[in-house]
């Protein structure tokens, strides 16, 4: 396939399984948000206190898949400008996603 020819490391069946898991999780989340066209309703659908379904989709499908990818080594290292390559860990993803920046500032407000 195009995906495996572009990334030879993806030929391994376990790697393809991981990618399929991500795809399934994203499809479920997209379907959840696709149930409405109203922007305010989409905001409600993304709020786990108003819509517990999104919490279940993320916690039961997306998070375990991301954890499996990081533990499998599919994305083994991250390039760092100062120290070069460093290993990816699950907590690195958590740390990065909780940093205050222009992308998550609205969430923290």
Q: What is the pLDDT, as a whole number, of residue 101?
A: 65
Q: Is 83 found in the same domain as 66?
A: no
Work out how many domains the chain is built from and give that number.
Answer: 2
Classify residue 2: in a domain, yes or no.
no
**One domain, residues 83 and 60:** no
Instruction: Mark whether 69 and 89 lie in a shared domain.
Output: no
Residue 26 predicted with pLDDT over 90: yes
- The yes-or-no verdict on residue 90 having pLDDT over 90 is no
Are 52 and 68 members of one domain?
yes
The reply to whether 22 and 58 lie within a common domain is yes
DSSP states of 6-53 as a string?
H-GGGGSHHHHHHHHHHHHHHHHHHHHHHT---HHHHHHHT-TTT-HH
What are the residues whose beta carbons fall under 8 Å from the beta carbon of 79, sequence distance 6 or more? 85
Q: Decide if 3 is inside a domain.
A: no
12 & 28 share domain: yes
Residue 1 forms part of a structural domain: no
Residues 104 and 58 reside in one and the same domain:
no
Here the CATH number for the domain that contains residue 50 is 1.20.58.900
Mean pLDDT of 18-27: 90
Residue 65: CB atoms within 10 A of its CB come to: 20
Its domain, for residue 34, covers 8-75
With respect to residue 46, please indicate whether it lies within any of the assigned structural domains: yes
Of these ranges, 55-64, 79-88, 96-105, the one predicted with the greatest mean pLDDT is 55-64
Is the overall model pTM greater than 0.75, yes or no?
A: no
Look at residue 8 and tell me whether its pLDDT is greater than 70. Answer: no
Task: Tell me what the mean pLDDT of segment 103-108 comes to.
Answer: 50
């Amino acid at each position: 396939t195009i995906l495996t020819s572009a990334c030879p490391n993806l030929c391994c069946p376990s790697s393809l399984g991981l990618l399929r898991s991500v795809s399934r999780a994203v499809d479920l989340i997209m379907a959840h948000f696709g149930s409405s066209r109203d922007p305010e309703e989409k905001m409600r659908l993304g709020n786990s206190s108003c819509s517990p379904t999104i919490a279940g989709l993320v916690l039961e499908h997306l998070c375990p898949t991301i954890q499996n990818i990081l533990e499998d080594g599919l994305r083994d290292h991250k390039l760092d400008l100062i120290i070069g390559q460093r290993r990816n860990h699950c907590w690195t993803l958590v740390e990065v996603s909780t940093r205050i920046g222009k992308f998550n500032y609205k969430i923290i407000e």
